[in-house]
Chain A
């Protein structure tokens, strides 16, 4: 005999984990872009990679509450790892190399996760920033391995799965990136809906209470940080594989700051934030770079300042409004379809 309250809670949690019509619509749109927008595949690839990177940050920021200013560390690590695998023919097949690069980044994430456990927000900021800087410096100085400031050149990708060559228009690259993004998204969705994900949320809300009800706070944080590092590493690997180049910019502070911005635009803590944010950010960046090629960071900065001053709540209201509107549209459409089916 279970308590009615626990049954209610179980139902509530199950309802939250269920697939929402909007989610289905989102992924159908993503799938549609693969076939309907063949001329945009280059930028769409960039969007998919950025979305994966932002998704990774969402796991630690949105679900565990860890502020990181150095998430590019794992992105860059994965990028260089994938580049080196391809350049020296260690792992020729791109998908395998991507997984291996992700595994390496996961290892790095595990090793550095102990550094973010201690201290306040400021200490975490500094430590994450420091780790990214150390890696950037390492990539800069180990020029016999990484090409130093010139970047890693001579990366030639083998055909994907031994069959599909990366083409100049980016069709294969986009299909590949989108598939990886979707697969990892599914995994992330599973993770955050699991008891493990729920415990992360409770840690984010109040670490002290979380530990009081028996959640091993540190171990959970280590676990999610490690997973997120792996995600970021895979995103970096995808970037190298689709551009056949890796440069020091993968470790840049700007990259860590930009991905934070992406996540903030889309909204933190519901997984789709990074994806939607990546679309908006890339489109906005593309447009700004078109208008003012050199100074687009100014407008990004202005956006951040206004964003904080106006308040996140007020700006995120449009998201829930848009969500409600879309939902109504989808429901109406579904009713209409059902109605027509009934008539015929």
Chain B
């Protein structure tokens, strides 16, 4: 029981790191980025290649995965995404679906369609008992890492100059611009950072979520659930939503395997009907 809770929390934390970048970009630019998972996949593959083929250590590979995805993200943002901001939601959806299709086929072409695993260091494998609760070492690492990241993110948003500018831009873009805040620059940085976080999440999650070319499609719905249920005006909303989703999904698959992913999708639809703005969002100003 507690083990399931533990696994669920690890899963939820992972989802939060994966989806937090999406929450920020969606809230900031009202841009529907269905291709967010592609950046996570990039991070995952970078790690796998570095660790398995080039003999890097797992912990050296993680920051590289972050940087690689961030770089990729900012490259795409500057060259492609920046042209699509002003367009309708339909066109944004088409554009990002196109990117997903391309990413899936390209990875399939270059790296094959089989599932990939990064070799973990010895001390991260297996699990130990703590007061009768089986705790996976790797999952503990994920919880600790993601927990630190979450706190850092929250602090960054609450107490730095950049964070307050970002929050201002999310709350009301026009007024923020009027006050002389360079919203475009903020957005570029946020996009790159969010892609980097997704890449890190993909690197950490390769072991738990499974990494193959269809990753962006498979988890697209999960990211979107986190973002829509949590709302995009705060960072705590998506965090709670991700935890709920993680625990709900793990528990649902364990206790009622017959229903599988049913539980999650149904909950999502109900929440969206009940509160279209998201479960934890304050009433939007717009």
Contact = CB atoms under 8 A, between A and B. Distances in A.
B32 to A, nearest CB: 6
B228 A141 contact: no
A77 to B, nearest CB: 16
A72 to B, nearest CB: 14
B242 to A, nearest CB: 15
Interface string B83-127: 110010111111101111111111011000000000000000000
Contacts of A118: 272-273, 276
B94 A307 contact: yes
Interface string A127-158: 10111011001101100000000000000000
B258 interface: yes
Given A308-B84, A308-B87, A141 B224 contact: no
Contacts of B109: 294-295, 298
Given A133-B221, A308-B95, A141 B102 contact: no
A17 interface: no
Contact of A141 (B84, B98, B258, B269): B258
Contacts of B99: 301, 305
A297 B94 contact: no
Interface stretch (A4-12, A191-199, A218-226, A257-265): A257-265
Interface string B51-63: 0000000000000
* Chain B CB within 10 Å, residue with most, of A114, A134, A294: A134
Contacts, number: 124
A301 B91 contact: no
B83 A257 contact: no
Given A118-B276, A125-B32, A141-B258, A134 B98 contact: no
Contacts of B224: 125-126, 129
A297 B266 CA distance: 30
Q: Is the interface of B mostly helix, strand, loop or mixed?
A: helix
A122 interface: yes
Contact of B265 (A61, A133, A264, A298): A133
A261 B100 CA distance: 14
A328 B49 CA distance: 59
Contact of B80 (A137, A138, A297, A305): A305
B228 A126 contact: yes
Interface string B213-256: 00001000100110010000000000000000000000000000
A122 B32 contact: yes
B264 to A, nearest CB: 9
B200 interface: no
Nearest to A67: B90
Contacts of B105: 294-298, 301
A69 interface: yes
Nearest 10 A/B pairs, CB to CB: A304-B98, A301-B101, A298-B105, A119-B276, A301-B102, A308-B95, A305-B98, A121-B89, A301-B98, A295-B105
Interface of B: 26, 32, 80, 83-84, 87, 89-95, 97-106, 108-109, 217, 221, 224-225, 228, 258-262, 265-266, 268-269, 272-273, 276
Interface of A: 61, 67, 69, 114-115, 118-123, 125-127, 129-131, 133-134, 137-138, 140-141, 253, 257, 260-261, 264, 294-298, 300-305, 307-309, 312
Given A125-B224, A134-B269, 10 more contacts: A61-B90, A69-B93, A123-B276, A127-B272, A134-B262, A257-B97, A264-B94, A295-B109, A304-B94, A305-B102
